[in-house]
Amino acid sequence: MGQIMDSTDEELIEAYLAGNEPAFSELTARHLGGIYSFAQRLVNDQAAAEDIAQETFLKAWRSLKKYDKKASKFKTWLLRIARNTAIDYLRKKKHVPLSAFENDEGLNVLAETVPDQEELATVTLERLDDARELNTLLEKLPPKHREVLVLYYGNDCTFEDIALLLQEPANTIKSRHRRALAALRALIAPNIY
């Protein structure tokens, strides 16, 4: 069992496809928390996030033979499945405007002029030690901005991983990240000062 735990995701996939059933259990255990957290922040509903996480792993299990390690890391592939599953959930939920996922417009013009500071995410988020307050603030961001922040800080994805996951250019993701931090700063500032 220790050998399974020390294996990379790709080694676990190969082992599972070769008939080692516990290998997929280890993949699930390794990534379940991150997938659930990602889904919960996207849909802001614990029960729905549990369903999305479960459906994500079911879809991954069904499609595991199609996974291409040359195209993306397993984690990125899994997050893409979770994202698509969450979007399907939100589409069914009538009061969430899907146009928010499609359009970056509508961001406060003043937020665009706030300078980008490298320490912003860590210093500012450290000041907000209450996770519920942070989640409340994240909910006020447009879904595309919230998604980039959750992937980058919550799931330790690189900009390149996020670009691959969202199928958008890395520069677009970096720009969206900067705008999301500026918008988050604008929301946090009244709570800190």
Domains of the chain, first to last: 2-92 (1.10.1740.10), 100-192 (1.10.10.10)
Confidence of residue 77 (pLDDT cuts 50, 70, 90): very high
Q: What is the pLDDT of residue 90?
A: 82
Q: Looking at per-residue confidence, does 49 or 90 come out higher? A: 49
Helix axes 74-92, 21-43, angle to 10 degrees: 50
> CA quadruple 155, 49, 81, 33: dihedral positive or negative?
positive
- Do the Cβ atoms of 112 and 178 come closer than 8 Å? no
Residue 103 has pLDDT above 80, yes or no: no
Residue 117, pLDDT > 70, answer no
Q: Which amino acid does the sequence have at 128? A: L
Place of tokens 């849909």: 43
| pLDDT above 70 (res 94) | no
Q: Yes or no: say if 60 and 78 are a contact pair by the CB < 8 Å rule.
A: yes
Whole-number Cα distances in Å, 149 to 37, 59, 156, 180: 12, 25, 10, 7
**DSSP annotation string for 82-147:** HHHHHHHHHHHSTTS-THHHH--TT--HHHHHSPP-TTIIIIIHHH---HHHHHHHHHTS-HHHHH
Binning pLDDT at 50, 70 and 90, where does residue 168 land?
very high
Q: How confident is the model at residue 107 (pLDDT cuts 50, 70, 90)?
A: very low
Q: Which two tokens mark 190?
A: 């009244």
**Arithmetic mean of pLDDT over the chain:** 78
SS3 assignment, position 173? helix
Report whether pLDDT(100) > 60: no
Q: What is the pLDDT of residue 3?
A: 67
Whether the predicted pLDDT of 163 surpasses 80: yes
- Its pTM stands at 0.60
Rg of the Cα trace of the chain? 18
pLDDT at 176: 93
Q: What is the pLDDT of residues 181-193, one digit of tens each?
A: 888 888 877 655 4
**Per-residue model confidence as pLDDT tens digits over 28-45:** 999 999 999 888 888 888
Q: Is the pLDDT of residue 129 over 90?
A: no
pLDDT at position 130, please? 54
